[in-house]
Structure 1
Amino acid sequence: MAFKILIFSALFVCLLSVVSGQRTPTISHITQEQIRDIGGQVDLDCSVHYANEYPVIWVKYDRLKTTESIPLSTNAGLIIRDSRFSLRFDDATATYTLSIKDIQENDAGWYQCQVLISITNRITAEVELQVRRPPIISDNSTRSIVASEGESAQMECYAGGFPPPKITWRRENNAILPTGGSIYRGNVIKIPSVHKEDRGTYYCVAENGVGKGARRNINLEIEFAPVVTVPRPRLGQALQYDMDLECHVEAYPPPAIIWLKDEIQLSNNQHYRISHFATADEFTDTTIRVITIEKRQYGVFTCKAQNKLGSDEGKVELFETIIPVCPPACGRASYGDAASIAPSPATLAALLGVYIVHVVRRVFNSRH
Structure 2
Amino acid sequence: MNIQLNPSVLVQIVLSLVTGCSSYASEFGSPQHPLIHTKANTYQKAVGEEATLWCNPQNLGNYVVLWKKDDQDILTAGKMMVKPDTRLSLVDYNLRIQNIQPHDGGQYTCYISTDGPVISVTHDLQILVPPSITPEPSDGQYTVKRGRRVALKCTATGNPAPSVEWTKKDGRLPSDEIKTVGDSLIIHSISKTDAGVYICSAQNGIGQAARAEINLQVLYPPEIELETNKVHTGENKEAHLTCIVEGNPPPQVKWYKGASMLTDSPAVSFTSAYNRHTLILRNIRSGLDFGNYSCIAENTMGTFKKHIEVHGRPTSPVFRSKPNTSKEKTYMLTWSVDSYSPIEEHRLLYRKIKPYHGPMDSTKFPTGEGDWTNVIIPGDLSNMGFTHLRSYKISGLEDDSEYECLVQARNKFGWSEPSRLFTFYTTRPAPLASDLEWKHMLNQAAQTKLPFSIQILISLLLALTQLLR
TM score, norm. by length of structure 1: 0.74
Offset of residue 249 of structure 1: 0.7
Of the candidates 30, 40, 44, which is equivalent to residue 49 of structure 2? 40
Q: Looking at CA atoms only, which structure, 1 or 2, has the larger radius of gyration?
A: 2
Bigger RCO (CA 8 Å, 6+ sep):
1
Of the candidates 199, 220, 226, which is equivalent to residue 222 of structure 2? 226
Paired residues, number: 309
Per the alignment, residue 362 of structure 1 pairs with: none
**Does residue 313 of the first structure (1) align with residue 313 of the second (2)?**
no
**Does residue 289 of the first structure (1) align with residue 280 of the second (2)?**
yes
Per the alignment, residue 73 of structure 1 pairs with: 76
Structure 2 counterparts to residues 248-287 of structure 1, below 5 A: 248-277=244-273, 279=274, 284-287=275-278
Letter in 2 for 1:322: Y
Per the alignment, residue 15 of structure 1 pairs with: 20
Whole-Å Cα distance in 2 between the matches of residues 192 and 185 of structure 1?
Answer: 13
Offset of residue 237 of structure 1: 3.2
Work out whether residues 177 and 187 of structure 2, in 8 Å CA contact, stay in contact via their aligned partners in 1.
Answer: no
Offset of residue 180 of structure 1: 5.3
Whole-Å Cα distance in 1 between the matches of residues 254 and 135 of structure 2?
Answer: 43
The CA deviation string for residues 68-90 of structure 1, in whole angstroms up to 9 with x for no partner, is x444333234344555433211x
SS in 2 for 1:13: helix
Instruction: Specify whether residues 174 and 293 from structure 1 end up closer, same or farther in structure 2 by C-alpha distance, changes over 3 A only.
Output: closer
The CA deviation string for residues 269-311 of structure 1, in whole angstroms up to 9 with x for no partner, is 222112333x3xxxx2211121333231122221011233332
The CA deviation string for residues 240-293 of structure 1, in whole angstroms up to 9 with x for no partner, is 34332211111112223211112221112222112333x3xxxx2211121333
The CA deviation string for residues 17-54 of structure 1, in whole angstroms up to 9 with x for no partner, is 21321465433324501001222221110122333312
Structure 2 counterparts to residues 90-239 of structure 1, below 5 A: 96-117=93-114, 123-138=119-134, 143-179=140-176, 184=180, 186-239=182-235
Percent identical pairs in the alignment equals: 24
Letter in 2 for 1:40: E
Q: Quick check: 264-273 or 20-29, which moved more?
A: 20-29
Whole-Å Cα distance in 2 between the matches of residues 62 and 297 of structure 1?
Answer: 87
SS in 2 for 1:210: coil
SS in 1 for 2:228: coil
Structure 1: stretches of 5+ with no match in the other structure:
64-68, 90-95, 324-353, 360-364
SS in 1 for 2:14: helix
Work out whether residues 156 and 202 of structure 2, in 8 Å CA contact, stay in contact via their aligned partners in 1.
Answer: yes
SS in 1 for 2:236: coil
Whole-Å Cα distance in 2 between the matches of residues 5 and 290 of structure 1?
Answer: 96
**Does residue 242 of the first structure (1) align with residue 238 of the second (2)?**
yes
Whole-Å Cα distance in 2 between the matches of residues 156 and 40 of structure 1?
Answer: 33
Work out whether residues 135 and 214 of structure 2, in 8 Å CA contact, stay in contact via their aligned partners in 1.
Answer: no
Whole-Å Cα distance in 1 between the matches of residues 34 and 137 of structure 2?
Answer: 51
Structure 2: stretches of 5+ with no match in the other structure:
1-5, 313-338, 342-382, 389-411, 413-469
Of the candidates 35, 39, 54, which is equivalent to residue 26 of structure 1? 35
Instruction: Specify whether residues 133 and 147 from structure 1 end up closer, same or farther in structure 2 by C-alpha distance, changes over 3 A only.
Output: same
Work out whether residues 31 and 44 of structure 1, in 8 Å CA contact, stay in contact via their aligned partners in 2.
Answer: no
Letter in 1 for 2:25: S
Per the alignment, residue 393 of structure 2 pairs with: none
Offset of residue 103 of structure 1: 2.2
Whole-Å Cα distance in 1 between the matches of residues 48 and 269 of structure 2?
Answer: 67
SS in 1 for 2:17: helix
Whole-Å Cα distance in 2 between the matches of residues 139 and 62 of structure 1?
Answer: 33
SS in 2 for 1:211: coil
Work out whether residues 14 and 117 of structure 1, in 8 Å CA contact, stay in contact via their aligned partners in 2.
Answer: yes
The CA deviation string for residues 178-212 of structure 1, in whole angstroms up to 9 with x for no partner, is 5458x957322222222222222211111111122
Offset of residue 123 of structure 1: 4.4
SS in 2 for 1:173: coil
Per the alignment, residue 53 of structure 1 pairs with: 62
Work out whether residues 168 and 186 of structure 1, in 8 Å CA contact, stay in contact via their aligned partners in 2.
Answer: no
Alignment RMSD, CA only? 3.0
The CA deviation string for residues 144-178 of structure 1, in whole angstroms up to 9 with x for no partner, is 32222222111122211001001111122341325
The CA deviation string for residues 324-352 of structure 1, in whole angstroms up to 9 with x for no partner, is xxxxxxxxxxxxxxxxxxxxxxxxxxxxx
Whole-Å Cα distance in 2 between the matches of residues 41 and 57 of structure 1?
Answer: 20
Whole-Å Cα distance in 2 between the matches of residues 98 and 216 of structure 1?
Answer: 39
SS in 2 for 1:177: coil
Q: Quick check: 197-206 or 288-297, which moved more?
A: 288-297
SS in 2 for 1:46: coil
SS in 2 for 1:14: helix
Whole-Å Cα distance in 1 between the matches of residues 136 and 108 of structure 2?
Answer: 31
Work out whether residues 67 and 110 of structure 2, in 8 Å CA contact, stay in contact via their aligned partners in 1.
Answer: yes
Instruction: Specify whether residues 239 and 106 from structure 1 end up closer, same or farther in structure 2 by C-alpha distance, changes over 3 A only.
Output: same
